A = this chain, B = another copy of it.
Amino acid sequence: MTLYDIALLIGAECSNTDIDIVSMNTLKEAKRGEISFLSDSKYEKELALTQASAVILPASKAPLLPDGVIALSSEEPYLSVAKLSRYFAKPINDEQTPPAIGSNVVIYPTAHIENGSVIGNNTTLMSGVYIGTNVKIGSNVTLYPNVVIYRDCIIGDNVIIHAGSVIGSDGFGYAHTKTGEHVKLYQNGNVIIEDDVEIGANTTVDCAVFGSTHIKRGVKIDNLVQIGHNCIIGEYSIMVSQSGVAGSTTLGRNVVMGGQSATAGHLTVAPFTTLAARAGVTKSINKGGVYGGFPLMEHKMWLKLQAKIAKMIQS
């Protein structure tokens, strides 16, 4: 897609419109031939260092771009990016190479494996499992019936995923028009699941917008858990049933999330933090400890509060 086409699509003006753009990326990750964007001023400092060929951004920020990086000015850059993302969305399958299957692999007849994928040794793909394009699955992995792995995801060794769980579905990202419509931000990223992870039944892990949602070594996740796009779940963390982590939140290592607990997005939870059942995290937690309640407080404070409330009822 040429810059000319892109400028036309998003209603931007720009010089040098015959450059060919092959994909979209973040300011930090973009390379020559890619287009990036500034939709949140907190990333402004990354403009100076970007390797992108072009950047969609408000006209007032164009002077911050390095020489040779072309500005496409837009007063609603996030909306422009969403409109454009559709054209760079990866198709469901675009690979010619048949899957590479290791030794001692058990594949049930109704499992479906797209091209470009690699399945490690001693791995079992049960009935109804779907393996997307370019997926890498390690050794000694068991995917129970009807597990779905979207394209480009990477699953380590000794991973167990129980029936019905979905890995790599699109993150929940939209730009909004002035008239209240939502424009889908097509997702380019993937999910990386490291070794020795176990995931329960009917759990969902969204792929990243760009880059990876990352579940680190030894994490254990229960049934019906939601993990949003671009989250990082630290080593040996535990997420109990019906808990959820909103997009771009990072849990440190050995975090425990109790049943039905949840965090908002774009937060950091310190290593060795325990969240009691139903805890609701709306701000980053900088110091490991035991927390509960919504809004969140130290768990012992929450217990104290409950005692006061009990007294209040009786009065």
Are A166 and B162 interface neighbours, CB within 8 A? Answer: yes
Residues of B within 8 Å of A160, CB to CB, are: 170, 184
Are A305 and B295 interface neighbours, CB within 8 A? Answer: no
> Which residue of chain B has its CB nearest to the CB of A203?
B202
Residues of B within 8 Å of A295, CB to CB, are: 306
Select the stretch in A25-33, A40-48, A256-264 that faces chain B: A256-264
Does A126 belong to the interface (CB within 8 Å)?
Answer: yes
CA distance A297 to B309 in the complex (A): 11
Q: Mark A233-247, 1 if CB is under 8 A from B, else 0.
A: 000101011101010
Task: Quickly give the copy total for this chain.
Answer: 3
Name the one of B126, B244, B294 contacting A130, with C-beta atoms under 8 angstroms.
B126
Q: Which residues of A278-312 are within 8 A (CB) of B? A: 278, 280, 282, 294-295, 297, 301, 304-306, 308-310, 312
Q: Mark A78-116, 1 if CB is under 8 A from B, else 0.
A: 000000000000001000000000000000111010000
Q: Which residues of A133-175 are within 8 A (CB) of B? A: 142, 144-146, 148, 150, 160, 162-164, 166, 169-170, 172, 174
CA distance A133 to B222 in the complex (A): 23
Q: How large is the interface on A (under 10, 10 to 19, 20 to 34, 35 or more residues)?
A: 35 or more
Does A204 belong to the interface (CB within 8 Å)?
Answer: yes
Does A18 belong to the interface (CB within 8 Å)?
Answer: no
Does A52 belong to the interface (CB within 8 Å)?
Answer: no
Residues of B within 8 Å of A297, CB to CB, are: 310, 313
Interface CB pairs A-B, < 8 A, 16: A130-B163, A144-B150, A146-B146, A162-B166, A163-B166, A164-B166, A166-B223, A172-B200, A174-B238, A182-B236, A202-B203, A222-B226, A226-B241, A242-B262, A244-B260, A297-B310
Q: A110-B112, A172-B223, A305-B313 are in contact. List 18 more A-B contacts (CB 8 A).
A: A109-B112, A144-B150, A145-B148, A162-B166, A164-B202, A166-B201, A170-B198, A172-B240, A184-B198, A201-B206, A204-B224, A204-B241, A244-B259, A246-B259, A260-B262, A262-B277, A278-B280, A297-B313
